[in-house]
């Protein structure tokens, strides 16, 4: 025994010395490289041909370093309001989305939010901004104009703008206010028994908004729920836990985190009784559902509390914490990985800190099990129980709906019509679509068909390799075949273009909530979810244990 103790003591001493030496070497490396950076910046400041702003140059260095760490670690100077808005959903401003119009070389109002200073001042989508407090904004991009429109709540400024179709510009005084972007822009009844909630973020108060929407749905007789988390980038982990708590019993472990420092290790449990622990729930997700969205959908899946439908989620299994840095700056820093009830971490990408990213292939993911024994896997995000993808769209439509002619025609339509039918039932007439097509052609809308670009690229490769002359006839024929034909494409894609026009028009009259209601009218994945939740036998069958061979 004495000999064993001596050996153990020697081994522990060796281990301790090794750890100490490694720590000392690491600290030495840190000190050496900081000294090198200091000298490089001093030389740059003294000898570079132009004078550089210190704040800007150092920010370049910081951003460059953090960019190599992961996409979620970032530094925010004291005057940067972005982090605060991300966490709270609040900012001081007028409450409006803006966009840049190439036609006018100016920013225009894209969408004023309901009951905000922009809405109360009478601003409408399509209004062209001329000046802010007398300063001409011609040529300024949206980011610059946004900084001018935002400011302390209660401050006032003068806005001069031109409304399309009017001869004289208008001038209004607008008082900025604290704008709270809602986490739930819309909720309602899909049918007499099924409620629908769209959750777009996890900022402060998100769980409170979802609870209110859920209670209203139950009060209207709803006993089934579709929770839509598509395109939700996430946010607060505590808000996510509180939302899960609306559907599961008190004392359930929803998520736990593990990091380098013990302070990052934490378990998150439900703390209150649920609003409804038995109603059937479907959660819709897509590839842009990330972070807290994956905690909610993944936890409900692991607890067999909801059926998940849609496409595989983003795969962000990392947790960030906010740390203060000198001079009132802040740093959003990845401090831990999170794990949902089955024990899996759904992080899809490994950041190699050299700018490269390694994605975990499905073949290397591990099997975990839900509470009743259904197979689920780690890595690669949350795989839905039912895969449902939206119909693909031609690239021409993406170019169209982002164009000035598209936006301008809808502005003209809204000016001609004092009112339309309610959101969700509005239909664009064939005559109006014909007028839209003629306007788009008259405005000489152009678009880049990717197939046409690919053929031109192929011709260039053939020329470089000496095959162009041999295949010239075939290449010319192929290029002609795939050349953009606007009139043909507007007719061919009519059924896919019209829902976008209808939704944009509805937004002009019924704001964000109306837009969502109109969009659902043609939403393939939503209708599949609605059909599934109405089929209780099929719904219950999905949440049953299956042999491993049936879950692959």
Active site residues: 291, 302, 316
Question: Tokens 């290397």 — which residue?
Answer: 364
Q: How many helices (H) and strands (E) does the chain have?
A: 17, 23
Contact indicator for 142, 133 with CB cutoff of 8 Å: no
User: If you ran DSSP here, which 8-state letter would residue 210 be given?
Assistant: H
Return all residues near 95 (Cβ < 8 A) that are at least 6 apart. Answer: 112, 113, 116, 117, 118, 119, 177, 179
d(CA 31, CA 320): 26
As given in the structure block, the two tokens for residue 534 are: 């109405």
As given in the structure block, the two tokens for residue 380 are: 């690669």
d(CA 247, CA 273): 9
Q: How far is CA 228 from CA 140, 190, 309, in A?
A: 36, 12, 10
**Strands, E, within 113-153: which ranges?**
128-132, 135-136
As given in the structure block, the two tokens for residue 344 are: 């899996």
Burial of residue 88, with CB atoms counted within 10 A of its CB: 0-12 exposed, 13-18 middle, 19 or more buried: middle
Residues shown for the chain: 552
Alpha helices (runs of H) in 116-190, residue ranges in sequence order: 117-120, 142-149
d(CA 138, CA 231): 33
């Amino acid at each position: 025994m004495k000999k064993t103790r001596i050996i153990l003591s020697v081994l522990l001493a060796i281990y301790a010395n090794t750890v100490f030496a490694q720590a000392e070497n690491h600290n030495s490396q840190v000190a050496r490289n900081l000294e090198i950076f200091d000298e490089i910046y001093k030389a740059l400041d003294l000898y570079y041909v132009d004078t550089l702003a210190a704040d800007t140059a150092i920010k370049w260095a910081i951003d460059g370093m953090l960019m190599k760490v992961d996409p979620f670690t970032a530094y925010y100077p004291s005057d940067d309001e972005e982090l605060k808005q991300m966490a709270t959903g609040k900012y001081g401003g007028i409450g409006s989305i803006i966009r840049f119009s190439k036609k006018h070389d100016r920013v225009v109002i894209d969408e004023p939010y309901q009951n905000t200073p922009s809405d109360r001042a009478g601003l409408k989508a399509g209004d062209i901004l001329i000046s802010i407090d007398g300063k001409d904004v011609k040529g300024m991009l949206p980011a610059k104009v946004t900084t001018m429109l935002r400011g302390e709540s209660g401050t006032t400024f003068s806005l001069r703008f031109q409304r399309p179709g009017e001869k004289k510009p208008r001038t209004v005084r607008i008082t900025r206010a604290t704008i709270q972007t809602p986490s739930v822009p819309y909720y309602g009844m899909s049918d007499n028994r099924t409620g629908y909630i769209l959750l777009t973020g996890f900022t402060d108060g998100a769980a409170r908004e979802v609870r209110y929407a859920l209670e209203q749905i139950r009060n209207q007789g709803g006993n089934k729920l579709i929770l839509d988390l598509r395109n939700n980038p996430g946010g607060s982990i505590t808000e996510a836990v509180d939302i899960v708590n609306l559907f599961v019993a008190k004392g359930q472990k929803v998520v736990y985190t593990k990091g380098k420092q013990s302070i990052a290790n934490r378990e998150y449990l439900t703390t209150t009784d649920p609003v409804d622990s038995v109603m059937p729930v479907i959660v819709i997700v897509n590839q842009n559902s990330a972070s807290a969205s994956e905690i909610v959908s993944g936890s409900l899946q692991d607890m067999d509390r909801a059926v998940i439908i849609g496409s595989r989620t983003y795969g962000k299994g990392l947790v960030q914490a906010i740390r203060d840095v000198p001079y009132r700056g802040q740093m959003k820093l990845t401090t831990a990985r999170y794990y949902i009830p089955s024990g899996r971490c759904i992080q899809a990408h490994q950041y190699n800190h050299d700018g490269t990213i390694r994605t975990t292939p499905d073949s290397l993911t591990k099997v975990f099990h839900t509470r009743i024994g259904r197979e689920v896997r780690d890595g690669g995000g949350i795989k839905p129980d039912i895969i449902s993808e939206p119909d693909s769209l031609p690239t021409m439509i993406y170019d169209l709906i982002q164009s000035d002619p598209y936006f301008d025609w809808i502005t003209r339509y809204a000016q001609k019509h004092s009112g339309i039918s309610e959101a969700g039932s509005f239909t664009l007439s064939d005559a109006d679509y014909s007028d839209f097509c003629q306007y788009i052609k008259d405005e000489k809308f152009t678009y880049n068909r990717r197939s046409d670009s690919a053929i031109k690229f192929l011709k260039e490769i053939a020329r470089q390799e000496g095959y162009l002359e041999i295949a010239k006839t075939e290449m010319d024929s192929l290029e002609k075949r795939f050349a953009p034909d606007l009139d043909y494409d507007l007719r061919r894609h009519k059924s896919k273009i019209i829902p976008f026009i209808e939704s944009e028009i509805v937004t002009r009259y019924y704001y964000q909530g109306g837009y969502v209601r109109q969009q659902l009218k043609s939403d393939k994945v939503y209708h599949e979810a609605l059909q599934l939740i109405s089929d209780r036998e099929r719904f219950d069958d999905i949440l049953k244990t299956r042999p491993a061979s049936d879950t692959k």
